[in-house]
Structure 1
Amino acid sequence: MSVNRFSWFLTHLHLCDNNLQPNKNEINYDKLYKVRPLIDSLSKIFLHHYIPNKNQSIDESMIRFKGRHSIKQYMPMKPIKRGYKVWIRADQSGYICEFQIYTGKTDSVENNLGKRVVQDLTQNIKNKYHCMYFDNFFTSLGLVEELLQDGIYGCGTVRSNRKGLPKNQLSDKKFKKGDSEGRVSTT
């Protein structure tokens, strides 16, 4: 495609009405307003055309982006260091069932971000007893208990200093290479 043709598409393709865009100072301001119709359409299509497996996972993904935008994230320990962070719920085949683009911190401090993300991404599979797997960023005792009440099984690694963990866990000094400790709910 030529540069002129691409420029024409770029200037004539709009997904929403700019006159209806809320101001940045308003409460319901959406940083992704201009692409929100496309994001919502993709989410509906992903959910409608595929029946996911019972085993699913939630994790973060980065979309490489080097330009300037307020939702761009910098994560120095990741393979893709700069870009858009996306929370994804995928099944065991790798199909993305749902996703949520992280738009950054709000004015107030958000506690339990991982818990909120998991709850948002599992709204459509409540009471279907899927098995959700996630890493230590998301895992907390409260989250796993709430998922079980919603009819979803949860499994994940946990940080040793996470609040609400049982006091009778082994100290890190007693572990040898390859050792692990696990907990299972009986309810």
Structure 2
Amino acid sequence: MPDDLDVLTPGHFLIGTSLSALPQEDLEDLFTAFIRFDDYSTRPQRKINDKLAPIREVFDLFVQNCIMAYSPGSHRGCPFRVYMKSKPDKYGLKIWAMADSKNSYSANLQVYLGKINNKPEKNQGERVVLDLVEPLGTGYGVTTDNFFTSLPLADKLAEKKLTLCGTLRKNKSYIPNELQPKLFRPEFSSALVFATNDS
């Protein structure tokens, strides 16, 4: 192989042409035809005993550099990896996120680190939301799913001049009977309830 890339094939020359100016297919042809990681003349002999012969030398150099550049420590896995049966990948890290509803920008994040003293945390959803909204000013609307949504959370956010919109799990004791699922309620109908400060 020539020291420079001016000569492509016998009778074909690149004169003052930048490689970036070549069409991609020409570049692929150039690399396929001329870039080698070994001595092509000795390859057939080496391939008899080594199926990796065409890249053996560069591969061994890569492995040596990997060994030289990194010293693995003892690894026992991530202590806060969790099992999530409803997810396609059952094991992973759980990260709570507060994201902007218009552009999905993550405005605040919190990693779930697992049970504390091997006991489940009470009112975890409420605590997480209150932690995540801490940097917000007033006047924002917070939307949550039924893991987080609760009446006590709505009250605490209201104290911060924030509103809450979210789905509720129907087994919550503070949901009025008027809002419980009813067989006689017309399809696609809605019910609205509100509370005053003195009730």
- What TM bracket, shorter-length normalisation? 0.5 to 0.7
Please name the residue that 2:124 is paired with.
Answer: 113
What letter is aligned with 2:143? Y
Is 1:94 matched up with 2:108? no
What letter is aligned with 1:111? K
Is 1:129 matched up with 2:174? no
- Greater shift in the superposed pair: 94-103 or 75-84: 75-84
Q: 1:149 aligns with which of 149, 155, 159?
A: 159
SS in 2 for 1:100: strand
Query: Shift in Å at residue 145 of structure 1?
Result: 1.0
Please name the residue that 2:81 is paired with.
Answer: 72
CA 184–76 in structure 1, closer or farther in 2 if over 3 Å, else same: same
Deviation digits for residues 44-77 of structure 1 (CA, Å, limit 9, x no counterpart): xxxxxxxxxxxxxxxxxxxxxxx93221111121
Point out where structure 2 has 5 or more consecutive residues left out of the alignment. 1-61
Query: Shift in Å at residue 167 of structure 1?
Result: 3.0
SS in 2 for 1:70: coil
What letter is aligned with 1:72? R
Query: Shift in Å at residue 137 of structure 1?
Result: 0.4
Please name the residue that 2:94 is paired with.
Answer: 85
How many residue pairs match? The answer is 131
Note if contact 2:170-2:180 (Cα within 8 Å) is conserved in structure 1.
Answer: no
Hey, what's the Cα distance between the residues in 2 that align with 1:87 and 1:133? 13
CA 171–104 in structure 1, closer or farther in 2 if over 3 Å, else same: same
Query: Shift in Å at residue 4 of structure 1?
Result: 5.4
- Greater shift in the superposed pair: 160-169 or 89-98: 160-169
Point out where structure 1 has 5 or more consecutive residues left out of the alignment. 13-66
CA 145–3 in structure 1, closer or farther in 2 if over 3 Å, else same: farther
Note if contact 2:81-2:91 (Cα within 8 Å) is conserved in structure 1.
Answer: yes
Hey, what's the Cα distance between the residues in 1 that align with 2:176 and 2:185? 17
Hey, what's the Cα distance between the residues in 2 that align with 1:98 and 1:137? 18
More strand by share: 1
- Which TM-score applies when normalising by structure 1? 0.59
| RMSD across aligned positions (CA) | 2.7
Please name the residue that 1:166 is paired with.
Answer: 176
- Which TM-score applies when normalising by structure 2? 0.56
